[in-house]
Amino acid sequence: TQLLEQSPQFLSIQEGENLTVYCNSSSVFSSLQWYRQEPGEGPVLLVTVVTGGEVKKLKRLTFQFGDARKDSSLHITAAQPGDTGLYLCAGGQGGKLIFGQGTELSVKP
């Protein structure tokens, strides 16, 4: 069974701080997606990375795919209360996605 381990599981920070969330696996994935989910809603796609070493930026969010396509990171600069939510990484394997358990982020004003 392929697993994706996310860390940390919980993160509570003050507005303006920077943070990094990690997503690690022993398996190689064809692609890796990052999603953000709010309570009672479905996950919303933030980014897809497919090439080892790829870096993508989305405003204050920076996503990186490891060279070996087994791990990824999400870095948020100057976090804001609106960034609060559950962040999920998901690896593509065949047709399905394998999800990590998520990182619950709380940004306090």
Partner 1 sequence: DTGVSQDPRHKITKRGQNVTFRCDPISEHNRLYWYRQTLGQGPEFLTYFQNEAQLEKSRLLSDRFSAERPKGSFSTLEIQRTEQGDSAMYLCASSLSGGPVGNEQFFGPGTRLTVL
Number of residues near partner 1 (by CB under 8 A): 27
Which of 44, 58, 68, 78 is the binder for partner 1 (CB under 8 A)?
44
Other beta carbons within 10 angstroms of residue 15's beta carbon come to 13
Q: Is 66 near partner 1 (CB under 8 A)?
A: no
Q: How many CA atoms lie within 13 A of 58 on its CB side?
A: 14
The structure tokens listed for 59 are: 């405003």
Q: Segment 73-102, which members bind partner 1 (CB under 8 A)?
A: 88, 90, 92, 94-102
Q: Is 67 near partner 1 (CB under 8 A)?
A: no
Binding segment for partner 1 among 11-19, 28-36, 70-78 (CB under 8 A)? 28-36
Shortest spacing between CB 85 and partner 1, in angstroms: 13
DSSP string, 50-96: -STT-EEEETTEEEEE-TTSSEEEEEESS--GGG-EEEEEEEEETTE
Q: Which DSSP letter does residue 30 get?
A: S
Q: Given the rule CB under 8 A, which residues bind partner 1?
A: 4, 30-33, 35, 40-45, 48-50, 88, 90, 92, 94-102
